[in-house]
Amino acid sequence: MIISKIIVHELRKEQGRAATSLITSKELMPVDDESTELVNALLKSYQGDKILYAEFDNEEKKYFPKRFESYRQSQKKNQEFIDFSVDAVSNLETIIKAKTLAKGGYLVFAEYQLNDTEFISIFLIRDTEGKLLQRVETSFEVKRIEYLDTNHLAMACRVNESKLKSGESNYLSFIKQRQQEVSEYFTDWISAKQLESSTEYTRALYHILNDIPAPINPETKKSYSIDEVRNMVYETARSNAQQSINLQSLGEQIYGDASVISKYTEEKQISIDTEFRYDKNALKKFVQISVNSDGINLKFSRSDSGIKVRLSEENPDIVLIESAQFAAALKDQIKNHG
């Protein structure tokens, strides 16, 4: 990771009170081992939480997207980054004054490059035991690095500038928190507009499973087949009462590693919510083959491929279906309804 800019501002507000105070930095933090470790710890915490993907809501009244675009179109000098961060956090202060349950914290703005991709991330963190950030004249410095889990990472978002430049969708991501009040005012502030795409996410998961190394069957000590993995994912999804798929839970149950799917999507820059409602029709593809071509519509279980339904070895244009029940039903259709 190559970090180009880091700045921290402190927004003070007690829960249940409207009074706020904003302590802004006048200069960037130095990019050294301590600040780099801080950003790495924040990113590790971010990637371990429930990540949702979205785009900016570019309605006229939305402040953050316009201010961000203004910075993006600038020369991106240090002072321009400072001004952008100050303007943005000042806008946040205005928003949370009306939020009774909202609390303040440290706003960490970081601009960096990771895997040849440009990002700007904003982290809202609470103070840790043994002050993590300490005020020094016109800026902050890292006093002590501790591992930051999601209890300290109150909210965070990340803009994939490379995607935004190329006109791709889902360039904005943020974490989903249990504290609804925090999630709402933070996502309102950055003006996140989620794109509902359960079908796309379900299809994306299908292809992801093809590329991730299959887990080991504890009984045979050999890797599960891809069809066995798909069946396990299908049954796991269908057993969820909320009809949703959580990639971390899925990774833990199927692979024995909660982070295996998330790490893969991060490495390959695949935009897929950590938790999403699955599309029932798209999910069927995990256990069913469906072909509609040349006026013939054929659906059958993947487990029957090569057994009840197979291609002829003598003629690749011939499909063989070996099923007494199917043959009887077909004969009945031709005889009585033909």
Q: Is pLDDT of 130 > 70?
A: no
How do residues 174-211 score in pLDDT, each as one tens digit? 887 655 555 678 888 999 887 657 888 898 899 999 89
Q: Which region holds residue 203: left if phi is over 0, alpha if psi is between -120 and 50, else beta?
A: alpha
Q: Which residues have C-beta within 8 Å of that of residue 255, sequence separation ≥ 6?
A: 212, 215, 261
Q: What is the pLDDT of residue 169?
A: 82
Q: What's the whole-model pTM score? A: 0.67
Region 3-12: mean pLDDT is 94
Region 277-301: mean pLDDT is 84
Query: CA–CA separation, 84 vs 76, rounded Å?
Result: 10
Structure tokens at 181: 């009040």
Region 45-64: mean pLDDT is 85
Q: What is the pLDDT of residue 32?
A: 92
Amino acid at position 161, single letter: E
Region 69-92: mean pLDDT is 96
pLDDT more than 70, % of the chain: 90
